[in-house]
Amino acid sequence: MADKHHQAIIDALDVLARGASTKTNGKITSVNLAREAGVSRATIYRYLDEFQDLNDAFEALKKNGIQRTDNAPITLLEAYQQRELEVKKLRSELKECKQDIVNINKLRAHQIQLLWMENNRLQDELSRLKSLVADNISNLLTK
């Protein structure tokens, strides 16, 4: 059982150090460490007291703060706001894509109409030429 808690606390320290907390507000406190690890506060205090490596890591994290990479959110509120902005951006892109599809479909319909009209013109021309050829052949045969 002790190994399970020990590993959970190490993992929670890592999560807090990366600023990737999903269960807390991201602040580096023993209460947040307990929540991230999924153990009680009493367990955290006991393990920090019993295991020097955990205590050293926790104290170093409190002293040095979060090792933030890129623009990771500090709090759940910031994470939520970032997601909201991302959703807004994606919805805007989706709207633009849908408008592009509508424009492409209109263009294709116009092209089809032009091709249909050209086809009718060519069929009429073909009919006219066929009758002209037939008339010329009959004129040649009668002479």
- pLDDT for the residue numbered 33: 85
- pLDDT for the residue numbered 70: 54
Regions in the chain scoring below 70 on pLDDT? 1-2, 66-74
- pLDDT for the residue numbered 22: 77
- pLDDT for the residue numbered 73: 56
Q: What are phi and psi of 41, to 5 degrees?
A: -65, -35
- pLDDT for the residue numbered 72: 59
- pLDDT for the residue numbered 112: 98
- pLDDT for the residue numbered 98: 96
- pLDDT for the residue numbered 62: 82
What residues does each domain of the chain span? 1-74, 75-143
